[in-house]
A and B are shown apart, each in its own frame.
Chain A
Amino acid sequence: MRYAETGFNLEIDLSRGNIEKEQTDPRLTELHLGGLGTNAKILWDRVPPEVEPFSPDNLLIFSTGLLCGTPAVGANRTIVSTVSPQTLLMGYSMMGGFWAPELKFAGYDKVILRGKSPKLVYLWINNDKVEIRDASHLQGKGAVETTELIKRELKEPKAQVAAIGLAGENRVYMASIEQGRSSASRLGIGAVMGDKRLKAIAVRGTKDINLARPAEFIELCNEVLQYIKAREEHPVPGVMPILAGLGSPQEMRIVDEEWHTTNFMWGNARTRRRDFWNQEVEEKWREIQENVRTRLISCYNCPMKCGAIISVPGISTYMMKCFSKLTYTMAAYSDLDFGFKIAQRATEYGVDGFSTPQVMAFALELYEAGILTDKDMPGIPSDNEGRFYWLLDRIVRREGIGDVLANGTYWAAKKIGKGAEEYAHNNIKKHEQLPLKLGMLNPVYFLMYCTGEKANITQIEGQFPQSPFPTMEEREEFVKDWIQVPDEKFKQYLLKWELRGEYGNPHYPDVQASCYIVDWQEKMHYIDDALGICAGLSSFPLKPPYHIHNYPTIISAATGMDIDEAGLTEITKRNRNLLRAFNVRRGLRRADEKPPEDHWKKRYPELEEELLDAYYQFKGWNNQGIPTKETLDGLGLDYVRGDFEQRGIYNGGKKKRPGTKQASQKSKKAKAEN
């Protein structure tokens, strides 16, 4: 019997309409756990670097995490992986909600999609019965609307549906996959789903998920629950409200937005408004939020309340989570009220709430600078809010200038030219980042921004405070019950860390300490992403209930594999290196690993080089960020090493840049000629 996992994947060929249920090799679970780990393995094996994002040969994998469907608190994440149209690297976006556990209960660990359907379809997975169904009547429908229509036509209110909106159908690079209260938004995976002509996947499952050592496992779950209770009663003092508690974070519950509104940038990641927050704003925003927020809601088996049902009078009800209440508001220099209203339309269209507002603010900057003119923007309204709606409508339909903007700021700027590149100033690896512009270089964040392939800082950072505590008393208080640290040296780093001076940024945490801290942070995310545990209960917040010391026993009790901290660390390294290898094979090199020029005002080029050199070395990578032969062999990834050697990657093998505009146009032409 398989424990925690089902041992089966669904293999769907959308071109031929073929559906297979395939048993998986338990050895892969031992090597990679599941979720992102096994996704990376499948993508490495089956998607060579020549495959473009919108090729039928690109795979789109919907995966559960290893612990989804067990009673592990917060084990509800769906990990969607594919080749991203935006970065041309592996795109792995994730969502909470209810979809992954339902898939487990239906009897599958993953749904692996290949090919391209000749017409718009949706997939209906009802335990052993799996069908590809016509979705032509759903064309152009909103993501939320689609979910409701599918549940109604299947007469299955308990089905869980992941759907794309108009943006996905039109292959907009910011297209998300929406699922009730959650969405997998980053890196354009909704566009790949749309390219495959797949409108939605509906799932219903009524089977068991088994545990290897049930009594021990439940004991551990109870400990986690008790810890959550205690942790929520004792918020961490001295940090902003959203970091004081647990969650992803609980933005819908929290009204105090002083930190975001005065530290994050407004517009196209441009303007910091240090004096924005005052009592008047606080009262007004509290009223707005509490008026539209009907109820706080959770994901499957999680006591956090990170989401909410939002009912703005006059427009359809929808669900929201996390930071999207502010992304539109701040990009448009507008009000919270506007944020809640436009997010409804954006959710139905199915777009990423991080990138999309920035793309629109970018377009308006270009318009003001005269780079885009009235010829490009015929009929654009005169007010800022109206302009945002106008742009959003055009982007998701790829109409006029919307067709250019739909590829994100990096590709749009290249296409527009005339100096537009200067305005696409907030990207890493061609992908829009949080609108943060800070003063002094932070060495830990420098490394995370450079080397993270999720291209999203919130999916890399966590655990270690974002800035030092001013006084020694506060630091000592913080480290007193800091049981999550891998070892004692991390407490020393924090105790020594000062606001400025010799032990302040950028020189402290020093190079070595920075490597250790980043490695720990990243490791925890990689574990979560393999297990399907939400980062909001683990790798993201300070002092979370899951950590490197209890994870091995939890995984062991669930699966029956005996894993200790060293074993878990090795699996994580294997997954990390496999993901990196996939991207290296697609051309990722050191030159791609840099934060936006203006991310910090004070930069230290020599120190930055030293940090990156040291971190690469620490990770067992060469000075181009390529895993060395020794590293790969040591992790049992000798097949990766062999592939690298064959391709001449260690000898500075020519960088492949598949999927550029020209390349794809050429290949289309070639195909047409054939």
Chain B
Amino acid sequence: MKKVKVIKIDADKCNGCRACEAICSAFHAAPKYSSTNPERSKIRVLFDPLKDIYIPVMAGEYTEAECNGRDIYTIDGKEYDECSFCRASCPSRNLFKDPDSGLPLKCDMCEEEPPLEEPMCVQWCLSDALTYEEREEEGEEEEKPGEMEIGLESLVKKHGMKKVLDTVAQMANKS
């Protein structure tokens, strides 16, 4: 059995305070909590108050290609761009990319040792728009790639393995 960590998002309860963004970026800073910057957050609240659109989205997988065409969803009379619900860090938008390096960001559910009771965004969401649960599913636990691996992978995809290795070697020589 494998444990699946679930953040349940009740968008109706979101008040758009973005505390989740603040604490996520602080938690993942190095050293931990040393800086805050919502642009580095792995959760963003996509909101458009005048249209009453409030959607917290967790950063998911990096993808190198953008979608072919775009869809528009209408739910309860409100029009959503399909990207509103999309977790991907992708070339079509400026979301879930580190503002300095441009490297993709991905939610890691605040995994660390000893494990937190709940991811930080859930802990700081007093509106209960974000709640946390764990459930068991058939299947094997898989090895999850670390943050650096995700970043490097995207660079390799973009520039090729050789270019990345050469650059790293050059940097190593310089320092």
Contacts and interface: CB of A to CB of B under 8 A. Distances in A.
A296 B15 contact: yes
B156 interface: no
Interface stretch (B18-26, B67-75, B144-152): B18-26
B127 interface: yes
A70 B26 CA distance: 9
A317 B34 contact: no
B172 interface: no
Interface string B38-55: 111000000011111010
Interface stretch (A209-217, A272-280, A487-495): A209-217
A305 B40 CA distance: 26
Contacts of A319: 49-50
A309 interface: yes
Contacts of B50: 144, 148, 309, 316-319
B134 to A, nearest CB: 22
A207 B127 contact: no
Nearest to B95: A158
A214 B37 contact: no
Nearest to A212: B34
Interface string A218-257: 1000000100110010000000000000000000000000
Contacts of A98: 18
B36 to A, nearest CB: 5
B16 interface: yes
A309 B51 CA distance: 9
B126 A225 contact: yes
A217 B37 contact: no
A73 B32 CA distance: 18
Interface string B135-163: 00000000000000000000000000000
A303 B32 contact: no
A180 interface: yes
B39 to A, nearest CB: 4
A298 B16 contact: yes
B33 interface: yes
A162 B127 CA distance: 27
Contact of B38 (A105, A214, A298): A105
Contacts of B39: 105, 205-206
Interface in A655-669: none
A299 interface: yes
B99 interface: yes
A297 B15 contact: yes
Given A297-B15, A301-B22, A229 B37 contact: no
A294 interface: yes
Give the interface size class of chain A.
35 or more
A62 interface: no
Give the interface size class of chain B.
20 to 34
A157 B51 CA distance: 13
B1 interface: no
Given A71-B22, A105-B37, A206-B37, A215 B32 contact: yes
A226 B37 CA distance: 23
A228 B19 CA distance: 14
B124 interface: yes
Contacts of B32: 214-215
A71 B20 CA distance: 10
Given A300-B18, A303-B127, A309 B33 contact: no
A211 B15 contact: no
A100 interface: no
A309 B39 CA distance: 25
A210 B126 contact: no
B35 interface: yes
B98 to A, nearest CB: 10
A364 interface: no
B171 interface: no
Nearest to B33: A214
A296 B54 CA distance: 11
A436 to B, nearest CB: 30
Given A71-B26, A209-B36, A211-B34, A295 B127 contact: no
B115 interface: no
Contacts of B33: 71, 211, 214-215, 217-218
Given A295-B15, A299-B17, A208 B126 contact: no
A652 B63 CA distance: 74
A348 to B, nearest CB: 12
Interface of B: 15-19, 22-23, 26, 29, 31-40, 48-52, 54, 99, 124, 126-127
15 contacts: A98-B18, A207-B37, A208-B29, A208-B35, A208-B40, A210-B35, A211-B35, A232-B126, A295-B54, A297-B15, A298-B15, A301-B17, A301-B18, A309-B49, A317-B51
Which 10 pairs of residues, A with B, have the shortest CB-CB distance? A214-B33, A303-B126, A298-B17, A206-B99, A206-B39, A208-B35, A298-B15, A208-B37, A214-B34, A218-B33
Interface of A: 69-71, 73, 98, 105, 144, 148, 157, 180-181, 205-211, 214-215, 217-218, 225, 228-229, 232, 294-303, 305, 309, 311, 316-319
Given A211-B36, A214-B33, 18 more contacts: A71-B33, A157-B48, A205-B39, A208-B35, A214-B29, A225-B124, A228-B126, A294-B52, A296-B15, A298-B127, A299-B17, A302-B17, A303-B15, A303-B19, A316-B50, A317-B50, A319-B49, A319-B50
